[in-house]
Chain A
Amino acid sequence: MNKIFARTWLITVYLFLYLPIITLVIYSFNDSPLVSIWSQASLRWYRALVNDSALIASVALSFKIALMVGLLSVFFGTFTAFVLSKYKRFYGRTFFFSMSTTPLVMPDVIVGLSLLLMLVSLQHWLGFPERGLLTILLGHALLGTAYAAVVVGARLKEMDVRLDEAAMDLGCKPRQVFRLITFPLIMPSLISAFLLTFTLSFDDVVLASFLSGPGYSTLPMVIFSRARLGLNPSINAVAAVTIAVVSLTVIVSSIYHARTQRKRNHEIAMRYSDGSQ
């Protein structure tokens, strides 16, 4: 009885989480221009997608921004995490820590508004930057830095300090310790931070709407403006393509992960058998 109840609860919640995703995919193959009424299967909306130049341009822009956001966020996020985990006392540490967590707790509308007002006064004094790619990039990179700092910080916390100490005892300079010991050890967290911040940027509509200028519409901005006007079957096709890309990436990365894990286990086993001889 208890087991049945537990199973029903789990399955119902999973259905709730996946119901919208599944309907999006199914109805993307619907021929009718009315989103919710099924007529017959067709690839009509996918064909429309290929000719939708506004949408394709927005995908290209979003991709470009997300790629740069990933790199910038990992760069500044690693610095932030490193400073917070290695330096326990410096002037204004609490202030630094609160600034680094602010983007995580503040609603996007506030972050967007504050950045826009800052950029407007900057433009007033210096004459640049024009609103567009660069300003969206800055906003997303701020959000990304905060998230990347959490991901990399968690890994740095787990790291054995004795490895650093051993390297320094053996004559490594701090820079060498970072390059030869810390960096390879935190590499997996850098990759996950990159993927996370890439997705954040690719998904954001609020910050982009505040910071973008004329002629710079990201993919979420295009989807949002169409969804606001009403239901639109071309959005379903976009969704289905995104879901296909994401599932493929997840499957490939989990196969890759499993394979490297197996390889590593194999290597460890080999080393042990070498040692015993």
Chain B
Amino acid sequence: MDWLTEPFGSDLMQRALLEAVLAGALCGAVGVHVVLRRLSFFTMALTHATFPGVVIAALLGVSLFFGTAAFGVVVVLAVVVLSRRRGLDSSTATGVVLAGGFALGVVLISSQQGFTRDVTAFLVGSILTVEPGDVVVTAGATVVVIGLLVVLHKELVLAAFDPAAFEALGYPVVVLDIVLLLAIEITVVTSIPAMGTILAVALIVAPASAARLWTERVGTAMGLASGIGAACGVIGLWVSHRFDVAAGASIALVAAGAFALAWLTTPAIGLLHRLRRGATSDAPLSSEGQPVA
């Protein structure tokens, strides 16, 4: 078992491990709501467009977490305002905000010399350099966001599946939307040290998609996705250390592997199931197992 545990011997790696587990659990749980509401592209935009926040915070010498979080609020508002316009598709609006935000970050950085190393760390993550303070922030964010999702669970599920009923019952739709978007934003910002701005979306979407393939229940999916996310963090970190490749990318690839596995093994739509069923009949089956007429 030595070859398995050896990579996690040092303090540095144990801290990275803790960060990866926490970020994985948080991303997995939030990811279920991202997947339910088809917010992957929005999440992607959030990871890219908060880039200027990183640069400004670094220039001012304030906490990077605070910088990205503050800029993320601007991004959320920009997407909400632009998407409300008739005739402008929300994915187009998201694309414009994504590119504009990232470009602002690049221009700011290019005006500062000798900044390249930090930039790369933020683009692809550098989990091995997390400070104890970062881990505490991640732990705090995980508790707050998951707590919020649990408390608002019923409302969030109803709003996701039946927004019209949710509104008819007199719930404030816009407030809930903004709360969810901010929860996603905090998750993105928290996972940047581990995953980097570009790959954070992998840890949010892939474990959640895998969990959704395995179970229909939203609550179960959230628990499952958290577990998968944390496992992806551990395995990815181990692979990264073992083969000396970037940690964020390794975690993203392991997460993609989990999704592929789920896709192959899902009851009802998985490839294995279809192959087995294909041998007997091509017709789709109803819930009682009878071919649909």
Instruction: Answer yes or no: are A and B bound together in one complex.
Output: no
